[in-house]
Amino acid sequence: MNFIDEAFLEVRAGNGGAGSVSFRREKFIPFGGPDGGDGGKGGDVIFKVNLNKNTLIDFRNTRVFSAKNGKQGSGKNMSGAAAENLVLDIPQGTVIYDDISNEVILDCCEIDQLYTVVKGGEGGLGNSRFKSSRNQAPRKSTPGKEGEVRLIRLELKSLADVGLVGMPNAGKSTFLNKVSSAKPKIGSYPFTTLRPHLGTIQTSDSSYVIADIPGLIEGASEGAGLGTKFLKHISRTGLLLLFIDLYPDENNSTVNQIKALRSELKSYKEDLTQKEAWVVCNKIDLLSDNKLNALQESVPAEVSKLGIENVYFISAATGRGTKELINALTHEINIIKSDLA
């Protein structure tokens, strides 16, 4: 299935039904009064979180969604039927923006909540509403009000406790595959991951979600590579793991990779750099013991100068060091969740 995380829509609520002009007509009652009923309310357009949805692909081919109009009122003071609301299912974590002002309308995270984007018009008034002592036979009614119309943008932002951030081919997918039941695509070439993958870490007394986000390259905040399609998915994560490739070319050192990652995070959104971040140095299986020992001495000191205190050395391919990292993550996430409770 294609992963669609953005959609542009026009949503139209239903118009209210018109009020009726009618007079009571019964045998032996020659002067029956007005009995025109009110029109029915137009339908709203509502979004609802569906946990079985993980993409906005339903909105790829259809861009206009319209609720039905309310029914017209009729005689005998019968009101027109209100139209049913149009309910559209979306994935959890979908943010709805006004596409004109770019303002956030709704942030759809709650499972049982209905998110109304546009409201249907109220029904018009029938002529029975206008009867008075001066006007016993009013022929006045009002049309139904028009429903709201809005241009919106849907943007899916992954919900996860931990976000894996790194350059392409840093080993994030391999790590997620090793420690969870998620099965992201793995390959030895850049941009293997073209969509976020979520994996659940289950412990004896808790669980949390890790997101493997498409690889970041320099200029991503300006749209290079996968650009903002990557960056928007880490805005909800509680903790970031900066994945570093210990086996890069000479011009892409550990510290340079960290600085590049943090620079892109900051360029996209300042508060992303305020999130708790740990450094995970991957691919230790490809290094000699002497080289690894030297890096274990130098990297923590260099990283500390950048304000990051937690550094882990692992091999996602062999599993070496991953147990220690997961234990530390579990402890930290439990603290974060208890603070938010």
User: Letter for the amino acid at 286?
Assistant: L
Residue 243 pLDDT:
92
* Residue count of the chain: 341
* pLDDT over 60 at 114, yes or no: yes
Q: How far apart are CA 132 and CA 171, in angstroms?
A: 79
* pLDDT over 80 at 67, yes or no: yes
Query: How does pLDDT run across 273-295, given as a tens digit for each residue?
Result: 678 899 999 999 999 999 999 99
Q: How far apart are CA 215 and CA 225, in angstroms?
A: 9
Which tokens go with 176?
Answer: 């997620």
What phi and psi, each to the nearest 5 degrees, are found at residue 244? -115, 135
DSSP 8-state class, residue 148: P
Nearest CA among 64, 89, 93 for reference residue 5: 93
Residue 223 pLDDT:
42
* pLDDT over 90 at 16, yes or no: yes
Q: Which domains does the chain have, with CATH numbers?
A: 1-156 (2.70.210.12), 162-340 (3.40.50.300)
Q: How far apart are CA 57 and CA 233, in angstroms?
A: 17
- Mean confidence (pLDDT) of the chain: 84
* pLDDT over 50 at 15, yes or no: yes
Q: How far apart are CA 3 and CA 6, in angstroms?
A: 9
Nearest CA among 260, 253, 259, 244 for reference residue 314: 244
pTM: 0.68
Mean per-residue pLDDT, 66-86: 97
Query: How does pLDDT run across 118-160, given as a tens digit for each residue?
Result: 999 999 999 999 999 889 889 999 999 999 999 999 988 776 7
* pLDDT over 80 at 271, yes or no: no
Please report, for residues 61, 252, 304, 329, the alpha-carbon distance to residue 157 in angstroms, rounded to integers and kept in the order given. 21, 30, 30, 22
User: Letter for the amino acid at 320?
Assistant: R
Nearest CA among 302, 188, 304, 172 for reference residue 244: 172
Determine what percent of the chain is predicted with pLDDT higher than 70.
83
Residue 189 pLDDT:
38
* pLDDT over 50 at 203, yes or no: yes
Which tokens go with 310?
Answer: 């937690």
What phi and psi, each to the nearest 5 degrees, are found at residue 118? -135, 145
